[in-house]
Amino acid sequence: MSIGELYDVVLDCPDPDELAEFYRELIGGKVTDSDGWWTTLQTPSGMRVSFQRVDDYEPPQWPGQEHPQQIHLDVIVANLNESEPLVLELGATKLKGSRSKTGFRVYADPAGHPFCLVT
């Protein structure tokens, strides 16, 4: 028995609209709410990912623990080699320690949140 169900995943960031647009291009969907402090992306499958402005935002660092990941998203793709240049073009950064020959690769979104492409 559960108390509730997942409604939203919320990421802190310096610019909610910019980060929502990054994820819209990465995973699809449409922005359904934006007020400058809070922006929500509704994915094609109906999931919500929201972005909340934080003054003096400090991005997480991977794999370090001084500024831990806090949260990350796994994005399933058909082919890592084809998907990687596309996410880099969107503004992602490939993180050190990400292995090219395994079933996942680790990147940072424009606000510094780690996310993985997985097969």
What pLDDT score does 101 carry? Answer: 67
Q: What's the whole-number average pLDDT of the chain?
A: 88
2 in any annotated domain: no
Mean pLDDT over 52-70 rounds to 83
1 in any annotated domain: no
pLDDT tens string 70-100: 778 889 898 889 999 999 999 999 998 766 6
Mean pLDDT over 54-71 rounds to 81
**94-111: b or e for each residue (b if 16 or more CB lie within 10 Å)?**
ebeebeeeeeebbbbbbb
What are the two backbone dihedrals, phi and then psi, of residue 88, each rounded to the nearest 5 degrees?
Answer: -65, -40
Residue 41 has pLDDT above 90, yes or no: yes
Tell me the β-bridge partners of 13.
Answer: 53
pTM here?
0.79
Higher pLDDT, 101 or 102: 102
Q: Domain range holding 25? A: 9-118
pLDDT tens string 3-30: 667 789 999 999 999 999 999 999 999 9
Q: Domain of 20: which CATH number?
A: 3.10.180.10
Structurally, how many domains does the chain consist of?
1
My answer on whether omega of the bond before 44 falls inside 30° of 0, hence cis, is no
94 in any annotated domain: yes
